[in-house]
Amino acid sequence: MNIIEINGKNYQLLITYKSIKNINMRVEGDLIKISCNRLVSKKKIHEFVYSKQAWILKHSKSKTPGFNNDTVYYLGKPYLIKHEFSKENIYLINNNYIYFYTLSYDITLFEKIYYRYGIEKLTSLISNYVIEFYSIINKYSNKPKPLILFKKYKSRWGMYNSRDNSITLNIMLIHFSENAIKAVLWHEFCHMLYLNHGREFHQMIQLYMPYYKEYEKELKL
């Protein structure tokens, strides 16, 4: 997948070759999808994209990272969905594609499989951050290490429950970058010290994660 800059912003350029005469283009957030004949050169494709800059800027309103038509986001990057007939009910990522191995092409089933394995991937991804963040909190409090849980929320990225000392993360975070996930986790760890969002809470966040506000922007859809 190529990177192309338009008006100071980087877009990912995904080219799919088909037996067609024209160059077709679709924009999904920061992803530009081009379909064209294999005989069309990369130079001509780039010239075509640059000639459509105004149209791209107008239509590149962000889409919620997740399953968008034939694309799914994994850790902040878009992957084109491919299907292979199989009884396994698994998925594999290879280059710019995500392959779902199921008996039928069923987006609902793809999502179920994706989020089931997503919990395992998120658990592995944040394991070192959990150790790091708890070691910081432990300097200020003698609370035990929190239990980390996952759930699909509609309106929040995470939650700290002081009653059972648990942090629940939204499984939808699997679609976002590692920095965004790290920001949510640190946010919830800070609630172990400050239950509200007061001045001391935000100072604590900034003290140990100076780029928190930059990371958080990705989640403000």
Q: In this predicted model, what pLDDT tens digit does every residue of 161-184 receive, in sequence order?
A: 999 999 999 999 999 999 999 999
What's the rounded Cα separation, in Å, for the pair 170 and 154?
A: 9
The reported pLDDT for the residue numbered 107 is 86
Where are the domain boundaries for CATH 3.30.2010.10 in the chain?
113-219
The reported pLDDT for the residue numbered 209 is 95
Q: Which of 133, 160, 156 is nearest to 219 (CA)?
A: 156
Nearest-5° angle of CA 115, CA 118, CA 124?
Answer: 160
What's the rounded Cα separation, in Å, for the pair 113 and 89?
A: 7
The reported pLDDT for the residue numbered 60 is 67
The reported pLDDT for the residue numbered 181 is 95
| Tokens standing for residue 179 | 């920095």
Count CB-CB contacts under 10 A for residue 184: 21
For the 113-219 domain, the top CATH level (class) is alpha beta
Paired with 161 in beta bridges are: 166
pTM over cut 0.85: no
| Tokens standing for residue 152 | 């699909």
What's the rounded Cα separation, in Å, for the pair 138 and 95?
A: 40
Q: CA 120 → CA 58, 74, 75, 138, 140, distances in Å?
A: 38, 13, 13, 26, 30
| Tokens standing for residue 149 | 């849980």
Nearest-5° angle of CA 92, CA 149, CA 81?
Answer: 20
CA dihedral 38→42→47→50, nearest 10 degrees, is 110
Strands 9-17 and 31-36: parallel
The reported pLDDT for the residue numbered 48 is 93
The reported pLDDT for the residue numbered 5 is 82
pLDDT in tens, 84-108: 999 999 999 998 899 999 998 888 8
Tens place of pLDDT for every residue, the chain, 221 residues? 678 887 767 788 888 999 998 999 988 777 888 999 999 999 999 999 999 888 887 776 555 567 876 888 899 888 889 999 999 999 999 988 999 999 988 888 999 999 999 999 999 999 999 999 999 999 999 999 999 999 988 889 999 999 999 999 999 999 999 999 999 999 999 999 999 999 999 999 999 999 998 888 888 75
Contacts of 161 (CB under 8 A, 6+ apart): 167, 168
